[in-house]
Chain A
Amino acid sequence: MIVKYGMIQLIKHEFLIQNKVNNLTKYFFIFFVFCSGSITIISSHDKIAYFGLIFSLISIPLSLIGISINFLRSEIEDGSLELLITSFNPIQITLSKYINLFICGSIAFISTLPISYFLFHMNTTHLSLLFISGILLMSTSCGIIVLISSVQCYFRSNTNFLSSLLMPLIIPSIILSGMIIENNNSNHSIILILLGVNCIVVPISIYLSSYLIENIYNI
């Protein structure tokens, strides 16, 4: 019971940190609005709705890549991670970071849905497909970004190189999300595949990240 209460406290604390220190939700919101808005200005594509929606989805991992460098490193630099390890298990720390990244990203993404609805003249089916694929893509991307930020902190050298090796793990989810948007009818199976990718990538990323965090001070 105490552990559960502590975990909730940690998630709340992490939410406060991410929003007050890193302005994560605002950053995501501005990024998504910029990406989806700019596409209507610069594109003369016939199928602007599809193209724009897919670009809006791609902006999710793009926005997350921007925050990956400082996501965990700032915690190490100011000593917060040491203090967190004295009070929580590495898996709890990683999970709270993942949950908050997902919540902040999802709040911003959902906030931009009405904007996309008007910009791209979407119908309800399209909107729901964008919502589902966006949330699933957000989930995978958050898992991989948490892993990348842990790798960047654990390995003190060649961090950018290692990060760029992990980045392509997001690509299958991006392709699948694009397919969900493009195929209006037969996309149930693709949604399930994307869900399956999530079920594999997210737990592995969280487990590996917690292992790296556990050993960050043992080098």
Chain B
Amino acid sequence: MLSLNSVCIKIHDLTLIRNFSITFLPSAIVYLKGENGSGKTSLLRSIAGIQELSEGNITFGKNNTNIGYLSKPYCAYIGHKNAIKPELTVIENIEFWAKLYNSYEAISAAIFYFKLEEIANRKCQELSTGQIQKVALARLLACSSQLWLLDEVENNLDSEGKDLLTRLIITKADSGGIIIASSHNDPSIKSSVIINMHDYAKKPI
């Protein structure tokens, strides 16, 4: 269970999110929608522990522990920039993270799922933008975590890649995972919850 309690995010003097409280139960698929600068990325970063909250707190897990006290890594995150090193091979880019999440055996499954077998030993600088995005998603799959935070990951994916991602999200949710994704497009998963950031942002108290 992931709970956001009276969350407030300010950047400089601009309040992006004010007094935002919500609880996500296991198997939740949530899409954050909103225009540019509405606070989608900031919210995902705050949940991931990258950015500090201005006010409020976030708890996660069975004991509702504040994320500041949780042992890292407690989530799998893909940001705007996919953190793929062009000089390393596909395998090398995934290997370190899979080891870190104690799910080394999931690497081959992740590579197989995103059909990256033929390019597994090629350097990422030789790949297309869409293929690099698939490598980032394969890394996500190889990292065993119950909380996925995806920041506009559908960008640069072809229709096949989008289908694979959709199926992956549904499978993850079926196994009790919580998936929070930001997107500008309408979600293809009907059971997902859409949060319009505009409804929560800059709202007067």
Stretch at the interface among A81-89, A104-112, A197-205: A81-89
Stretch at the interface among A2-10, A64-72, A133-141: A2-10
Contacts of B85 in A (CB 8 A): 17, 20-21, 78, 80
**How many residues of A are counted as interface, with CB atoms below 8 angstroms from the partner's CB atoms?**
26
Assembly CA distance A86 to B144 (angstroms): 14
Beta-carbon nearest neighbor of B73 in chain A: A87
Q: List 13 A-B contacts (CB under 8 A).
A: A3-B71, A9-B99, A9-B100, A16-B92, A21-B87, A21-B88, A77-B81, A80-B83, A82-B48, A82-B79, A86-B48, A88-B72, A219-B11
Contacts of A17 in B (CB 8 A): 85, 88
Assembly CA distance A103 to B87 (angstroms): 21
Q: How large is the interface on B (under 10, 10 to 19, 20 to 34, 35 or more residues)?
A: 20 to 34
Counting chain B CB atoms within 10 Å of each CB, the highest count among A6, A89, A215 belongs to A6
Given A20-B88, A86-B48, are A79 and B83 also a contact pair (CB < 8 Å)? yes
**Is chain A's binding surface mostly helix, strand, loop or mixed?**
helix
The yes or no answer to B60 lying at the interface (CB within 8 A) is no
Given A21-B87, A217-B50, A218-B52, are A83 and B79 also a contact pair (CB < 8 Å)? yes
The yes or no answer to B201 lying at the interface (CB within 8 A) is no
The yes or no answer to B77 lying at the interface (CB within 8 A) is yes
The yes or no answer to A13 lying at the interface (CB within 8 A) is yes
Contacts of B99 in A (CB 8 A): 9
Given A83-B79, A86-B72, are A9 and B49 also a contact pair (CB < 8 Å)? no
Given A2-B71, A9-B100, A79-B79, are A85 and B87 also a contact pair (CB < 8 Å)? no
Binary flags per residue of B66-86, CB closer than 8 Å to A gives 1, else 0: 000001110101011111110
The yes or no answer to B51 lying at the interface (CB within 8 A) is yes
Contacts of A9 in B (CB 8 A): 96, 99-100
